[in-house]
Amino acid sequence: MTQGPPADLKLQRTSRDPSTVPGLLEDWLAGALPPGAAPEVTLRSGIDANGMSSETLVFDATWTEDGERRTEEYVARVAPSPDEFPVFQGYALQDQYDAIRIVGGRTEVPVPTVGLVEPTGEVLGTPFFLMGRIEGVVPPDVPPYNWGDNWLADATPEQQRRLQDNTVRAIAGLHAIHDAADTFAFLDRSGHPGATPLERNLAWVRSWYDWSVPDLGRSPIAERTLAWLEAHLPDTSAADTVLCWGDSRIGNVLYRDFAPVGVLDWEMAAIGPREMDLSWMVFAHMVFESITAVFEMPGMPHFMREDDVKATYEELTGVRLGDLTWYHLYNAVQWCIVFMRTGARQIHFGEIERPEDIETLFHHKPLMERLLAEAGA
């Protein structure tokens, strides 16, 4: 019998002392708000059940305005410190801020209201921006929602399908933004070679992988897949270029009544073909199902099935998606890199020993091997 899953998979993201945060934010807000505001900050718990990249601080701020005290709830999206093994090469917080702002202004897709930006890093050590806090629940990553004993796994199949379809609807809303290539030109991977957005995105992933190698070494399966991707790049010359949320999975959404009320986490936002987002959404569930199978758990095989997601998207948009195999393998490499980076961070914080084989960190390796075999790679 396979040993059951570990009870605690939480990942440490920072060595920050949380007791220092309220005072630092109060001093900053005192300078950002009108004189006499006298801000007070109460730090709530961070959102530590989901996400692997940025630090998220949840707090209440109280200040004087027009002679009365008012309180608002905020979330601070904080870039990680470069010396604490960040997941990404860079954190363009202004780009994330602008993407959320534009989406909020041009669509019905629910995104947080963005507020003040601190771009210098002088307050918390790294830059951050504020968002209005949204009440909702998130399908947990730690442990994954498909392991059971959580609100989504315990829901009826009809409720689960409603969540799935509503999330596809949100992605369709993002893809409907007119003239995305110009509107979101700041999200193009223009610093990377390639004649199309997809080529530049692939070059960005290759660069991200190369940047990650020195900490833990090379991955044969990631490099084999990258070579296959470069040799089999889809022809997207006739495809629409849309705003791709990037990290388009249900673990980055706040829900109420199985409908999105907050689309979060925009570090991976880019422009490219529609399939990038739809594959990421499906592939993320495939990864969790693959991990669940290792522990001989039932999982949720009826949920986020590729054919169902594609059919819903086509019904909503009138656009037929192409084959997703290339995009699944493209995303598989990105998951490899995420596991490389989070593994390096776990070693840094003493949570795990340095592995002899880097690929033991890749929880989705069996899935990746199957996809490669099916693709004839």
Which range, 1-10, 80-89, 167-176, has the best average confidence (pLDDT)?
A: 167-176
Can you give the pLDDT at residue 8?
Answer: 40
Q: Which 3 state secondary structure label does DSSP give 71?
A: strand
End-to-end CA distance of the chain: 32
Percent of the chain with pLDDT over 70: 93
- Quick: pLDDT tens for 206-247: 999 999 999 899 999 999 999 999 999 999 998 999 999 999
Helix (H) or strand (E) holding 262: strand 259-263
Can you give the pLDDT at residue 286?
Answer: 97
What's the pTM value of the predicted model, to 2 decimals? Answer: 0.91
Tokens of 233: 């790049």
Say how many CA atoms lie within 13 Å of 73 toward its Cβ: 8
Do 197 and 273 contact (CB within 8 A), yes or no?
Answer: yes
Lowest mean pLDDT across 36-40, 140-144, 207-211: 140-144
Can you give the pLDDT at residue 147?
Answer: 94
- Quick: pLDDT tens for 286-332: 999 998 988 888 999 999 999 999 999 999 999 999 899 999 999 99
Residues identified as active-site? 247
Q: Is 346 exposed, middle or buried (0-12, 13-18, 19+ CB in 10 A)?
A: middle
- Sequence-ordered list of residues with C-beta below 8 angstroms from that of 271, at least 6 positions apart, any chain: 180, 181, 184, 185, 187, 188, 197, 241, 242, 243, 244
What residues are paired with 166 via a beta bridge? none
- Sequence-ordered list of residues with C-beta below 8 angstroms from that of 27, at least 6 positions apart, any chain: 123
Mean pLDDT within 67-86:
92
Computed over every residue of the chain, the mean pLDDT equals 92
- Quick: pLDDT tens for 250-277: 999 999 999 999 999 999 999 999 999 9
